[in-house]
Amino acid sequence: MLDRPIGVAGAGSIGCFVGGMCAAAGRRVALLARPRVIEEIEGHGLTLTSFEDSQRHVAANRLTLSDDPAVFADAGVVLVTVKSADTAEIADVIARHAPSDAVVVSLQNGIGNAAVLRQRLPGHVVLAAMVPFNVIAAGEGRFHRATSGDIVIEADAADSAARLAVPGLTMRATRDIAGVQWGKLLLNLNNALNALSGLPLRQQLAQRPWRRLFADQIAEGLTAIRAEGIRPVSLTPIPAGWAPHLLRLPDAMFDMALGRAMKIDPQARSSMSEDLQRGRRTEIDYLQGVITEIADRRQLQVPLSRRIVALIKRAEAAGQGSPALTPEQIRSDTV
């Protein structure tokens, strides 16, 4: 598998960081990226930094850069990092251009991407995965990892997780990737709150009104997920069911219980916040939208999730970045 190049399908922030870390470790890497990203990397190389103060630089000539999917012609692995709405399209691209024995790994947010890839890529080994950390695109080929956590990949006979891991980028296998992804979805419900706030993540989560809003979002999410008979796997040592109670603690108690364990760079913001800032389509339909879809089928009440979907779509349509709302405004039905 790794005697051939690793292809990155949709090299944005996560794709450039993960692909760049693989290249820094000596792996051959091919990035399928937008012309703007290619121009940045050709001009500056890839500089990969982390909240842990690590730094790596990968010269442009150590990467294969292209906006032509023919770059996957000899790939042994294809890492899919496109937005969830683009999964079907990129699957068809992979089907046309990648070898039939290439292993496809979905490093995407959301729940159903691996199923879409499997449907459109019969014969390929397709592995679901979960990326817990946030990456900031800082311009001029610089990508900064701003939060902690290990990539988790669906266990397979080839032990792909261990084989893909490189120094500075731990990847571990799990036999319950569905539970892990649902656990990640619960945490990702804060992506929209952070985008609506206009605040850095650490500053947002340090404030009890925002944490209480997040807690109420998780509570709605847990109600929907449990109605489906799903048991989410927590990404922290704290069981998922405890999260709403801990988030509602007063600031001092929260800081003692959990705040000091949160490894978040002061400049970190959610990917959805970056999407609003850049005028891009968000993944709200694959986060809060999943909760509202379950609620529709199960006749559940999830008013906060519906409210947040509406506010994000309104911000997308306005195209002016974050609306910088307060928790009270988000809860209100008059904004």
pLDDT of res. 259: 58
- pLDDT tens digits, 266-297: 889 999 999 999 999 999 999 999 999 999 99
Task: Name the average pLDDT for the chain.
Answer: 94
Instruction: Report whether pLDDT(1) > 90.
Output: no
State the sign of the Cα–Cα–Cα–Cα dihedral 222, 226, 227, 230. Answer: positive
**Separation of CA 305 from chain center:** 19
pLDDT of res. 237: 75
pLDDT mean over 49-64: 95
Rounded to whole angstroms, the Cα distance separating 191 from 322 reads 12
pLDDT mean over 128-148: 94
Instruction: Report whether pLDDT(335) > 70.
Output: no
Rounded to whole angstroms, the Cα distance separating 301 from 114 reads 29
Residue 306 CB-density burial (10 A; 0-12 exposed, 13-18 middle, 19+ buried)? middle
Instruction: Report whether pLDDT(188) > 90.
Output: yes
Instruction: Report whether pLDDT(333) > 80.
Output: no
Instruction: Report whether pLDDT(46) > 80.
Output: yes
Strand-pairing partners, residue 6, are 29, 77
pLDDT of res. 266: 86
Instruction: Report whether pLDDT(98) > 90.
Output: yes
pLDDT of res. 261: 58
This prediction's pTM? 0.93
pLDDT of res. 252: 87
The pLDDT confidence band at residue 260, using thresholds 50, 70 and 90, is: low
Backbone angles phi, psi at 194, to 5 degrees: -65, -40
pLDDT of res. 93: 98
The pLDDT confidence band at residue 16, using thresholds 50, 70 and 90, is: very high
- pLDDT tens digits, 222-256: 999 999 999 999 887 788 899 999 999 998 888 87
Instruction: Report whether pLDDT(152) > 70.
Output: yes
29-32 and 6-9 beta bridge pairing: parallel
pLDDT of res. 319: 96
pLDDT of res. 222: 97
Domains of the chain: 6-175 (3.40.50.720), 178-331 (1.10.1040.10)
